[in-house]
Structure 1
Amino acid sequence: MNIFDIDHLELFVGDAQQAAYYYGSAFGLEAAGRGGPETGLMDQRSLLMAQGEVRLVLTSGLAAEHNAVSYVQRHGDGVAVVAMRVDDVAECFAELVSRGAAPVSPPRSFTDGTSSVTFADVGGFGDVVHRLVQREGDSFLPGPIEMLEREPNEHPMFSRIDHLAICVPAGKLQATSDFYQEVYGFAEIFTEYIEVAGQGMNSVVVQSPSGGVTFTLIEPDVERRPGQIDDFLQWHAGAGVQHIALITDDIVSAVDHLGARGVRFLSTPDAYYRTLEQRVGHVDASVADLARLGILVDRDHWGQLLQIFTESTHVRRTLFLEVIERRGARTFGSGNIRALYEAKEREMVHAPTPMAADPDPEPMEV
């Protein structure tokens, strides 16, 4: 069983066309495919947005019984499917199920004569499932998703998905990590406890043997003051993807372009930059530009990491994006967690009152 990388993410959203407009106009993703009643998907509307190797499928249910409808009602817009590219879907599906993964849908294949794809779905975390994908040719999903003619951007801002940050309820962190190690064959590569302003959280990073799929798992410390992780879990009604980290080769240029497109980022105190190079060493970028844009910098044994987080545009203040540039660094910016927490705390002051949620909801039927 070989899991290579993240093939795509499928987001269940209230309005796929509106979401596609947002990801296109704000982040420069291109409309690459579409599916709906005209392609045989009678109960849903799906739009494929792409840039580099980043592919997002935005799906809205057209019938009350579609999974996307109940997902959005419970969680709001969010990541419902994390698709992973594998070498043999049938073999991988059978092995994962034998190891304890819940079977959601068995292997099935589509072809258009020039391209083919085989995929199957198995259980992941919370209400999120994993789609195993094996493809040949250029079509994304021959048949259900009709590819659109386009000229891909020769200089995309983003090249691929670096990692996903996943919030899990208190007491579920180690069990979730063990699940990915024992069932999916991932390795636990990083652990940390972080305390900020009376709040606390535990973090574990699990990664596929290929290094192509990385999940940062986070749980709140309930013995400390409630904070943004608690808010996410309440507003999202359980475990889910808190943010998607996208890799760029030039974060200063990318953030400048995104800002011009109207993307808003979490702010960083000016004091953060006064001792920046004392903390992380020389940065091969203008500190004035980093401060102007609010870009954070961290260092590990292998190099530097530059990162910034967008404000959430969701009414529940849940899912947001991270823009990240790796200059050799292999870790995830734990040195910047304090700055992120402080920025998110400022954002939460203006957030809506959280909706009541079942503290221990039953899994949604898929």
Structure 2
Amino acid sequence: MALSARRLCHIAFHVPAEQPLARNLQRLFGFQPLAAREADGWRQLALRSGDAVFLVNQGAGPEEPLYGLDPRHAVSSATNLCFDVADAGAAARALAERGYHVPVPAVSVRDALGAATYAVVSSPAGNLSLTLLERAGYRGPFLPGFGPVPSVPGLGWVSHVDHLTLACTPGSSPTLMRWFHDCLGFRHLPLSPGEDPEQGLEVAAAPGRGGLRLTALDIPTCSAVPTLVLAESLSGVAGGQDQVQQFLARHRGPGLQHVGLYTPDILEATLGVARAGGQLLTPPEAYYQQPGKQRQILAAGHEPSLLARGGILLDGRKGKFLLQVFTKSLFPEDTFFLELIQRQGATGFGQGNILALWQSVQEQAARLQESKGQS
């Protein structure tokens, strides 16, 4: 019988001591320090924006960091997803009996504000692990073992985690889908009518240009758990690697490629990130020149020039729209990044944007090559 997660507690990262992830989350994206722990060679800092919590683990202590694992991965990485469950001990035992690897069996941590029990499960998705957490009644700002830290109220552009996207090796999505079902109760969420769970949604570019296979998962009974998206490459990419293949190469295996952070006002959030010095990806001009794109933007109640200036993408149909903008990588290896997303009734993940961006980049490259040939 599948277990069931009740909410996402936090997303953990493992970075070297000199990596500025925690500082950048505050300075560029409006996250605020929530709680900290320094022990056993580790500095662990939890940061929050709305209900989105990131835990940055720095160091390399002789023991595992509290509430997670040290994956000893070669590059900076998102390493752990932590979910609240009703009974962490029972969940860990049930998974171990099914043959899943549980490197940290249930352990309890207590301080003056209460107690929590957690266990850590290894995943089939590269260096990513899963923490099952039981913390009913804990009265502290974060988790037992962490102390409060001074915090200055920030702008708070982000309200919660909208979705999590894993870059997967080709053909691995069905295995991952079953694993997340067994561990947390995730189920297939169709992105198109009649979609085969084993096949997902194929977002194909022009012939010979490849594309992506997207498989979405959610927990239908729990809105506090973000949607999980499995992304893998379709064969047929010409002239180099696509975004998933690039992640697999640079990250040295599968893992969490990006986190979609929900914002109620993407124009304000994008402007704030840019003013703070955050680096956002700029789509090619051809994206905004697609037939019908400006009409679509106006129908959604936005000004095309403002979206283009911020690099904001818009996808929609039947009066429901999705706006999204992507940051450049937060790590020097050019791997993990963030997405800011605003929904106006849409429930998908910008499938139209994926295809349109793919095609516009290819068209822009072709025009550039043509102009070079004529010069």
TM (norm. structure 2) is 0.82
Offset, 1:217: 0.4
Offset, 1:180: 2.0
- The answer for the alignment partner of 1:363 in structure 2 is none
Please, which runs of 5 or more residues in structure 2 have no aligned partner?
Answer: 191-199, 364-375
- The answer for the alignment partner of 2:252 in structure 1 is 237
Report the 3-state secondary structure (helix = DSSP H, G, I; strand = E; otherwise coil) of the residue aligned with 2:103.
strand
- The answer for the alignment partner of 2:141 in structure 1 is 139
Whole-Å separation in 2 of the counterparts to 1:71 and 1:150:
30
Work out whether 1:18 is the aligned partner of 2:20: yes
Whole-Å separation in 2 of the counterparts to 1:302 and 1:4:
32
Q: Relative to structure 1, is the Cα distance of residues 345 and 322 closer, same or farther in structure 2, using a 3 angstrom cutoff? A: farther
Letter in 2 for 1:230: Q
Report the 3-state secondary structure (helix = DSSP H, G, I; strand = E; otherwise coil) of the residue aligned with 1:3.
coil
Whole-Å separation in 2 of the counterparts to 1:285 and 1:270:
17
Letter in 1 for 2:350: G
Whole-Å separation in 1 of the counterparts to 2:105 and 2:181:
22
User: Cα deviations across residues 1-57 of structure 1 (Å, max 9, x unaligned)?
Assistant: 431221101100012662211111111211222111xxxx21212111111111111
Letter in 2 for 1:94: R
Report the 3-state secondary structure (helix = DSSP H, G, I; strand = E; otherwise coil) of the residue aligned with 1:158.
coil
- The answer for the alignment partner of 2:157 in structure 1 is 157
Work out whether 1:294 is the aligned partner of 2:311: yes
Report the 3-state secondary structure (helix = DSSP H, G, I; strand = E; otherwise coil) of the residue aligned with 2:309.
helix
Contact preservation (8 Å) 1:99, 1:182: no
Offset, 1:166: 0.5
Offset, 1:336: 0.6
- The answer for the alignment partner of 1:321 in structure 2 is 338
- The answer for the alignment partner of 1:303 in structure 2 is 320
- The answer for the alignment partner of 1:283 in structure 2 is 300
Work out whether 1:34 is the aligned partner of 2:33: no
Offset, 1:63: 3.8
Offset, 1:66: 6.1
- The answer for the alignment partner of 1:194 in structure 2 is 203
Q: Relative to structure 1, is the Cα distance of residues 301 and 93 closer, same or farther in structure 2, using a 3 angstrom cutoff? A: farther
Offset, 1:176: 1.5
- The answer for the alignment partner of 1:351 in structure 2 is none
- The answer for the alignment partner of 1:219 in structure 2 is 232
- The answer for the alignment partner of 1:359 in structure 2 is none
Whole-Å separation in 1 of the counterparts to 2:347 and 2:312:
18
- The answer for the alignment partner of 2:6 in structure 1 is 4
Q: How many residues align?
A: 340
Offset, 1:100: 4.2
- The answer for the alignment partner of 2:352 in structure 1 is 335
Whole-Å separation in 1 of the counterparts to 2:77 and 2:171:
23
- The answer for the alignment partner of 2:41 in structure 1 is 43
Whole-Å separation in 1 of the counterparts to 2:164 and 2:19:
24
Whole-Å separation in 2 of the counterparts to 1:69 and 1:131:
9
Please, which runs of 5 or more residues in structure 1 have no aligned partner?
Answer: 347-366
Contact preservation (8 Å) 1:45, 1:62: no
Contact preservation (8 Å) 2:169, 2:232: yes
Whole-Å separation in 1 of the counterparts to 2:12 and 2:115:
19
TM (norm. structure 1) is 0.84
Letter in 1 for 2:281: L
Q: Which sits farther off after the overlay, 105-114 or 60-69?
A: 60-69
2:56 alignment partner, one of 58, 83, 93: 58
Whole-Å separation in 1 of the counterparts to 2:34 and 2:126:
29
Kindly name which structure, 1 or 2, has the bigger radius of gyration based on alpha carbons. Answer: 2
Contact preservation (8 Å) 1:32, 1:150: yes
- The answer for the alignment partner of 2:104 in structure 1 is 105
Offset, 1:181: 2.8
Offset, 1:228: 2.0
Contact preservation (8 Å) 1:33, 1:49: yes
Report the 3-state secondary structure (helix = DSSP H, G, I; strand = E; otherwise coil) of the residue aligned with 1:24.
helix
Report the 3-state secondary structure (helix = DSSP H, G, I; strand = E; otherwise coil) of the residue aligned with 2:6.
strand
Q: Relative to structure 1, is the Cα distance of residues 162 and 343 closer, same or farther in structure 2, using a 3 angstrom cutoff? A: farther
Report the 3-state secondary structure (helix = DSSP H, G, I; strand = E; otherwise coil) of the residue aligned with 1:132.
strand
Contact preservation (8 Å) 2:158, 2:261: yes
Offset, 1:214: 1.8
Whole-Å separation in 1 of the counterparts to 2:260 and 2:8:
12
- The answer for the alignment partner of 1:362 in structure 2 is none
Offset, 1:171: 2.0
Contact preservation (8 Å) 1:46, 1:57: yes
Letter in 1 for 2:43: R
The percent of aligned pairs where both chains have the same amino acid is 27
Work out whether 1:255 is the aligned partner of 2:267: no
Contact preservation (8 Å) 2:10, 2:81: yes
- The answer for the alignment partner of 2:173 in structure 1 is 173
User: Cα deviations across residues 129-185 of structure 1 (Å, max 9, x unaligned)?
Assistant: 111122222331222x212143544x5100111111101111212221222234432
Q: Which sits farther off after the overlay, 324-333 or 118-127?
A: 118-127
